[in-house]
Amino acid sequence: MTTPEITGPEDQNPNLRLLEEVAAATAGVSRLEMCIQCGTCGGSCPSSADMDHTPRMLFAMIRAGMREAVLRSNTPWMCVSCYHCVVRCPQDVHIADVMYTLKSMAIQEKLYKDSTAPDFSQTFVDMVENYGRSYEFGLATRHYLKHYPLRLPSMAPMGFGMLSKRRMDITPKRIEGIDQLKTILDRAKQLENGQ
């Protein structure tokens, strides 16, 4: 006796493909489908108190195809990349990398609630794409003026200390091969968009 093959119409609801989509967009093999909902991740997380959903809950929501709620969740943005959950996960889910994927999907679809974190990442990346090196002074000034103007007075002694102890350069460093790097990154962006 052979098992009858189950065939049916294609799923009409694209959200049911969310898990596959997230897994496909993740750098390594995400193993996201292996999650057994044990909650070790949330229990290990130093910033779970500030998260809308624990990682476990977020992964259940991905399975349930709750696309917009997943991408609007602040959970990936609160991830501190400490990898405690990753080494403790009994199923070896690449949790931190899934969080990176969710951030990039949220940026792509502009679904984040608070722009502080996406802006910070984007400003950092803009500096790196233009100079080939990170540029803390430029990053800090741009970021703080936009998002934390009221924090500037309490930050001033620290900023002054960093400058006077020469731990922060006022001018950026540029690598020699910046054109080569830009060419590589432009091509990588095309490839990322499936071109």
Partner 1 sequence: MSQKYLYYPGCSMESSAKAYNDSLMAIKDSLGLALEEIHDWNCCGATEYVGISTTPAYALISRNLALAYNQSNGMDTVVAPCSACYLNLAKADHYMHERPALGVRVNKALAAGGLNYDPGSLKIRHLLDVIINDIGLEAVQAKVTRPLHGLRVAPYLGCMVPRPDYEKRWSDHEYPDELDRLLKILGAEVIDFPLKTHCCGGHMTQISPSTAFELIRRLIDSADQYKADMMVTLCPMCQMNLDAYQGETNHHFHTNYHMPIMFFTQLIGLAFGKDPKDLGFGKELVDARQALSRIGVEVPEEAPPARKPKRTKKQGLPMPVMPGEEEES
Q: Which amino acid is at 121?
A: S
d(CA 48, CA 103): 16
- The residue among 68 and 92 lying less far from partner 1, judged by its C-beta, is 92
Examine residue 25 and tell whether it contacts partner 1 (CB under 8 A). Answer: yes
Examine residue 116 and tell whether it contacts partner 1 (CB under 8 A). Answer: yes
Examine residue 191 and tell whether it contacts partner 1 (CB under 8 A). Answer: yes
DSSP string computed for 52-97? SS-HHHHHHHHHTT-HHHHHH-SHHHH-----HHHHH-TT---HHH
Helices 95-108 & 18-25 angle (0-180, nearest 10):
100
Contacts of 147 (CB under 8 A, 6+ apart): 116, 119, 120
- Give the helix ranges, DSSP H, for the chain: 18-25, 40-44, 55-63, 67-72, 75-78, 84-88, 95-108, 116-131, 136-147, 152-164, 178-192
- The residue among 1 and 167 lying less far from partner 1, judged by its C-beta, is 167
CB of 12 to partner 1, least distance (A): 28
- The residue among 25 and 69 lying less far from partner 1, judged by its C-beta, is 25
- Show the binding pattern over residues 135-164: x = contacts partner 1 (CB under 8 A), - = does not: -x------x----x--x--xx-xx--xx-x
Q: Which amino acid is at 90?
A: P
CB of 7 to partner 1, least distance (A): 28
- The residue among 11 and 92 lying less far from partner 1, judged by its C-beta, is 92
Binding site for partner 1 (CB under 8 A): 25-29, 46-47, 50, 76-78, 80-84, 86-87, 96-97, 99-101, 103-104, 107, 116-117, 120-122, 124-125, 128, 132-134, 136, 143, 148, 151, 154-155, 157-158, 161-162, 164-169, 173, 175-177, 180-181, 183-189, 191-192
